[in-house]
Structure formats: structure tokens, C-alpha cells
Amino acid sequence: MVIVMAPDATADNIDALVELVTSSGGEAYVTRGVSRTIIGLVGDVERFQDLGLSAKPGVGDVLRISAPYKLVSRENHDSRTVVSVRGVPIGGEHMTVIAGPCAVETPEQTLAAAHMAKAAGAALLRGGAYKPRTSPYAFQGLGEQGLKILSDVRAETGMPIVTEVVDAADVDLVASYADMLQIGTRNMQNFALLQAAGDAGKPVLLKRGMSATIEEWLMAAEYIAQRGNLDIVLCERGIRTFEKATRNTLDISAVPVAQNLTHLPVIVDPSHSGGKRDLVLPLSRAAIAIGADGIIVDVHPNPETALCDGPQALVEEDLGVLRDVAGTLATLSGRTLTPAPARELADV
């Protein structure tokens, strides 16, 4: 059982609940998040039910959920969550495209990629300043300099930025620039990073681990939610299978499966799953048709010289096609393609 405290709950309210639960023989684990405090209860659920917890001062919600992931479960959660990334919605009626370069390389390349992203129908700009690379000799990203470039490009284009954080120690710095923190496939079970991202006060894009089950993915999301941050978007980005023809195998069925299990939005990365430019449009079609809440796509003005993942980046002539595909299929799936924001950005 989980108690979600109201945002205005006081320390006395929380202490009183802990006292009540422990004196009835249970254990209470308090997590103080930025906007909400969560109390996880361990013990006899029937006995907790007799305590009248939902009527106690400061209590927002009391959840009795059988799934191991309590806060992100769809059980007892009628409405689907819409995550707002600096005013840009993901989830619900919306179908949102995120696009940009795999890595931030230069100001010119990032700005050009942002214009490409807009032309492809994107409302949010992606781009990595910290790159988790398989080889220690590969380009690791520009670090804070890359974050500054992203923030300049945001000012120029009005597109909020989604960027990866690879280390818990960098979360505050990355969050001071980013509108959404991305946690990559290799870090899906980096629990300290998940908790730090949950504390950062920014929405989180959580990619599925390449060898993770859907349940493990949702448990990873629970680590973020448990810190009081429910602004989480899940991203299916392909899993490891025996197949070598694609970089990863896009588990398209993960989209409806996850949407049945959680109220969080679920998007698809057709670039890192297919790993090849000519697969990105077909996989995008599949993702939107199956009801994904969005897609995140690599674009690059000059893929031959890209420092990371050039072969999977869309180029100029693909952009109009992607925009048409996204708009048309979103409408057919009963969604509306989220427009790019005006240049004036919503306050954070």
C-alpha cells in the first residue's frame, strides 16, 4: 500500500501517519520528493484499511495496488497521464514528435538539426551532450558546452530540449539546462541515477533497457515516481535478440502492453531500434499506428561526418515525409500531432 501525501502536507501530518502505521504493527518508508511525499507501507493490508488513512490530514491518495509498481500502475488510475515538457504535452490525445541529432557537436550542426526537427513535425528537440558509448575511445559528448549549445538553440527556435544524463553526479547540472532528462537504455537500472532524476524536478524520458522485461522497465519508472516525480515518459527503443539485420529488435508489442499496465505515456525510438535510415520511416509508421504517444527520431544535417549514429539519422528529403506520416497516422489513431511551440517559451 502507498500513501501519496498532498502537496501541502506538513511534517506533523507525515509523522502522525508513520506513528499510526507503526503502532498498528506495520512499517512506513517515507520518501520526501520535490513536490510530494510518498509513504510506502509494508505489513498487513487489511489492518491498514481499518486505520482510515485516506481521511487523515495531509493525505492526497491511498493506493492499494497488486502490481509491484504502485505509483506508475494503471490500476486505480482512470486517466492517462499527460506529461508537460515546458508546455509541450506528451500523452493523452497528443502524439508528439521529438527529433534532433544523436549528439550535440557544434552550434551550427545543432541549430541546423533543430530546423530539420521542426520540418519533420517535431515539437521537442533531442540532442546528447553526455553520450554513453560502448567504446571509451568514441566521442563522449561535449558535456556542459553541449548543454549551453542546446540552450542557445532553444532560445533561437523555441523548442524545449530533451537531453541525456548518464551519471547521478551530473543530474543537477543537466537539469539546470534541460527541459526533460533522458535516461538511456544502458542506465535503465542505474538506481542511484533514477532516484537523482526523480529528485531533479524535471520530466524524465526513461528508455527501456535493451535486455529489460517490461516489468523491470516499469519498476525502474517506479524508482523515479517514488521520489515524487510522476512526469515520466517511457520509451521503447528496441531490445537485444538473436537478429542481426537490425541494430536492435523493435518490440512494437511493448507499446500496447505497457500502455495497459501503466498510465504513463509510451513513445518509440525508431532510430536506435532499426539503426538504419531506411528503417526509420517504416518503424515510425508502425509506432504511430499502434498507438504510441510519440516518437523520438535522429536527424542530422550531414550524417557522413556525424560523430555519433550517422547511419540512422534522417536527412533533408525525409523530413516532409515524416511530418506527413506523423500528421496523417496520428489523426487516424484518434490523436493530434503536437505542434512545435511558438518561439516564446513557457516559463518553467
Q: Which is nearer to Mn ion, 96 or 185 (CB)?
A: 185
Give the one residue of 309, 314, 329, 341 binding Mn ion; rule: CB under 5 A: 309
| Residue 128 in the binding site for ligand PEP (CB under 6 A) | yes
Choosing among ligand PEP, Mn ion, none, which partner's interface includes residue 185 (Cβ < 5 to 8 Å by kind)? ligand PEP
Name residue 236's beta-bridge partners: 268
Least distance (Å) between residue 75 CB and ligand PEP = 28
Least distance (Å) between residue 220 CB and ligand PEP = 13
Q: Which is nearer to ligand PEP, 74 or 237 (CB)?
A: 237
| x/- letters, 272..311, toward ligand PEP (CB under 6 A) | x---------------------------------------
CA gyration radius for the chain?
A: 21
| Residue 102 in the binding site for ligand PEP (CB under 6 A) | yes
| x/- letters, 194..233, toward ligand PEP (CB under 6 A) | -------------x--------------------------
How many residues of this chain bind Mn ion (CB under 5 A)? Answer: 2
- Site residues for ligand PEP, window 232-261 (CB under 6 A)? 237
Q: In what order do the strands lie in the sheet with 27-32?
A: 27-32, 37-42, 2-5, 59-63
List the grid coordinates of 184.
Answer: 538511456
Choosing among Mn ion, ligand PEP, none, which partner's interface includes residue 188 (Cβ < 5 to 8 Å by kind)? none
- Cβ-closest residue to ligand PEP? 184
| Residue 280 in the binding site for Mn ion (CB under 5 A) | no
| x/- letters, 139..178, toward ligand PEP (CB under 6 A) | ----------------------------------------
Choosing among Mn ion, ligand PEP, none, which partner's interface includes residue 90 (Cβ < 5 to 8 Å by kind)? none
Q: Which residues are at the interface with Mn ion (CB under 5 A)?
A: 102, 309
**Contact positions toward ligand PEP, by CB under 6 A?**
102, 128, 132, 184-185, 207, 237, 269, 272
